[in-house]
Amino acid sequence: MLATPLSTQDIVAMVAKLSDKHVLKRMPAQYVAGFAQAAVNVYDSSKIGEILQHKFHIPDDANFTEDAYLQSASELTVASYVRGRGVSDFDTEKKVNQSNTKDVDVYYRVGSTRVCLEVKCPFEERPVSNPPFTVVPAGHTPGGLERMRNFVQTANTQLPNAFQEGRNREMRLKDALVGAHEKFPEDPGMNELNLLFVACGDFTRMSEWHGNLMGAGGFFTGNSFHPPETFRNVDCVILSNLKYRHSVAFNFPAWSLDDVLLIPMVNPHGRTNLFDATIREGLSVFSHYRKEFLSDRILKAGVEEIQAGIDPHTKVTWFVDRHLSLSEKKRFFPVCPAQSPLPPW
């Protein structure tokens, strides 16, 4: 017996019956309506009820967690946006690697380019204004973890319980890169593009993830602390503030990428049969800042040593400050981050 398709009105009514612990129950009406429309746009009408339960814990929210919700919301947002861009062969949860049972979140074709896209919304420590403050290492350097732990222990002898060790952020990104590599085709062709879309918080968080790619020991550097061959088939990482749209700026449009800052970064350790024309065509469905970000400088020429030291962990923040217009800042970040190093707009 076929399941009865759900309308947007049905989904909104289901959300209204959720318990208060579910994020959607606490969201404004336009956010819930956007969720319902995206779900109807993307999910198979014969399976939508099953998918809503599996991915969003609707209607049974006994096992709901916010982290899992943000992951599913990010996947749905990207899928809904891509499908609305007039692509061909659109699919979700598609198996493209015959050697395992894993599938990619989004699949589409634009022009002659076939694109596999995996979405990850990694855990980020919540910003706090009161102790204990979370300390994480900046980059992967010899003895970095030991120095961080010594700092926390020493500081806490002076100010008890003022600091705590954060989770290892670089390992979260490592898991995302390696996991995506394992899902992508084993031997991708010249007309195929594999994208890892990372849903981050605000621009300071985007800078932190950029630092894990380009800072000391970063994955996209010449001395990556993790073997590059384990994520070789990840052609490009797209850093975004999509998590921020769902967790902070939810009073503004959240179920599209039209107002999301997108910064693609090509994997320098990638395969040799990938050409820039394929990258450009595969990314053409997104309004992104790849060219502008690559050419942007924090400091003027002549201070290369300082530039190299601060760039990896602050570049997105300073790109927002120096490159984006006021209207772009308000569009991408309509709620100025509470602990932003930049003046409010």
In a domain, 338, yes or no: no
Q: Do 4 and 91 reside in the same domain of the chain?
A: no
pTM of the model: 0.91
Range of the domain at 77: 71-125+167-332
Give me the torsion for CA of 263, 264, 266, 271, rounded to 10°.
160
The set of residues, in sequence order, having a beta carbon less than 8 Å from that of 7 and lying 6+ positions away, is 40
Q: Do 92 and 221 reside in the same domain of the chain?
A: yes
Q: Do 56 and 2 reside in the same domain of the chain?
A: yes
In a domain, 341, yes or no: no
What is the average per-residue pLDDT within 260-271?
97
Q: Do 43 and 157 reside in the same domain of the chain?
A: no
DSSP-derived letter for residue 186 is S
Q: Do 5 and 106 reside in the same domain of the chain?
A: no
Q: Do 153 and 86 reside in the same domain of the chain?
A: no
* pLDDT-based confidence at residue 301 (cuts at 50, 70, 90): very low
In a domain, 91, yes or no: yes
In a domain, 342, yes or no: no
* pLDDT-based confidence at residue 152 (cuts at 50, 70, 90): confident
Least Cα distance to 78 among 177, 198, 192 occurs for: 198
Q: Do 179 and 223 reside in the same domain of the chain?
A: yes
* pLDDT-based confidence at residue 308 (cuts at 50, 70, 90): low
In a domain, 269, yes or no: yes
Q: Do 281 and 296 reside in the same domain of the chain?
A: yes
User: Given a cut of 70, is residue 197 above it in pLDDT?
Assistant: yes
In a domain, 343, yes or no: no
Give residue 128's pLDDT: 66
Q: Do 99 and 248 reside in the same domain of the chain?
A: yes
> Is the pLDDT higher at 311 or at 84?
84
User: Given a cut of 70, is residue 310 above it in pLDDT?
Assistant: no
State how far the Cα of 80 lies from the Cα of 74, in Å rounded to an integer: 10
Helices (H), ranges, 159-220:
169-183, 203-214
